[in-house]
């Protein structure tokens, strides 16, 4: 039951971000030489657990080519390999409104903040699809139950 509520909330957040991203991209034109496609659907990005445990953070840039509906190829330009893999998996979830096939560069920024407490946290994401995704996660803090 709790899992279905989490899934529903995650889906609602993704839809809201996509709508807001579409509004902001039309209100603030991008400084590009061509029009970037509008994202119709995407999964909410999460910080990869293994990268968080290993304290891997950084910026990933990927050149994405679309066929008019979805990403058909992408080439990593920079970034830690573990984060490049996560960014590519995220891009595979993007579905675009129909558009002329194009190529653009997207940027994923993975940041680890100071831990707030014991355990994992999903952190926050700021998404301006398809050009920028910023994912913040709380660092891990080991807690000794005997100290309570």
What residue ranges do the domains of the chain occupy? 2-141
Residue 143 confidence (pLDDT): 73
- CATH of 2-141, picked from 3.30.2420.10, 3.40.50.1220, 3.40.30.10, 1.10.1240.10, is 3.30.2420.10
Is omega for the bond preceding 130 within 30 degrees of 0, making it cis?
yes
Residues 29-64 as b or e (16 or more Cβ within 10 Å = b): eeeeeeebbbbeebebbebbeebbeeebbeebbbeb
Count of H-run helices and E-run strands, the chain:
3, 7
pLDDT along the chain (148 residues), means of 10: 52 48 46 79 94 95 97 95 96 97 97 76 86 90 67
The secondary structure of residue 70, as a DSSP letter, is B
- How far apart CA 40 and CA 25 sit, in angstroms, is 13
pTM here is: 0.72
Q: Which residues contact 135 (CB under 8 A, 6 or more apart)?
A: 45, 46, 47, 108, 109, 110, 111, 123, 124, 125
Sheet holding 103-113, edge to edge: 71-78, 58-66, 103-113, 132-138, 124-128
Give the pLDDT of residue 18: 54
Residues 6+ away with beta carbon under 8 Å from 39: 18, 21, 22, 94, 95, 96, 97, 129, 130
Q: What value does the CA radius of gyration of the chain take, rounded to a whole number of Å? A: 17
Give the pLDDT score at 138.
85
């Amino acid at each position: 039951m709790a899992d279905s509520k989490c899934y529903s909330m995650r889906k609602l957040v993704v839809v809201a971000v996509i709508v807001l991203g579409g509004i902001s991209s039309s209100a603030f034109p991008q400084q590009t030489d061509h029009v970037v496609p509008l994202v119709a659907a995407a999964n909410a990005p999460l910080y990869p657990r293994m990268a968080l445990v290993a304290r891997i953070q950084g910026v990933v840039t990927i050149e994405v080519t679309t066929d008019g509906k979805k990403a058909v190829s992408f080439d990593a330009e920079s970034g830690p390999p573990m984060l490049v893999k996560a960014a590519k998996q995220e891009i595979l979830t993007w579905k675009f409104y129909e558009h002329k096939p194009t190529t653009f560069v997207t940027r994923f920024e993975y940041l680890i903040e100071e831990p707030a407490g014991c355990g994992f946290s999903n952190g926050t994401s700021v998404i301006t699809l398809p050009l920028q995704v910023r994912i913040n996660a709380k660092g891990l803090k080991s807690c000794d139950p005997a100290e309570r």
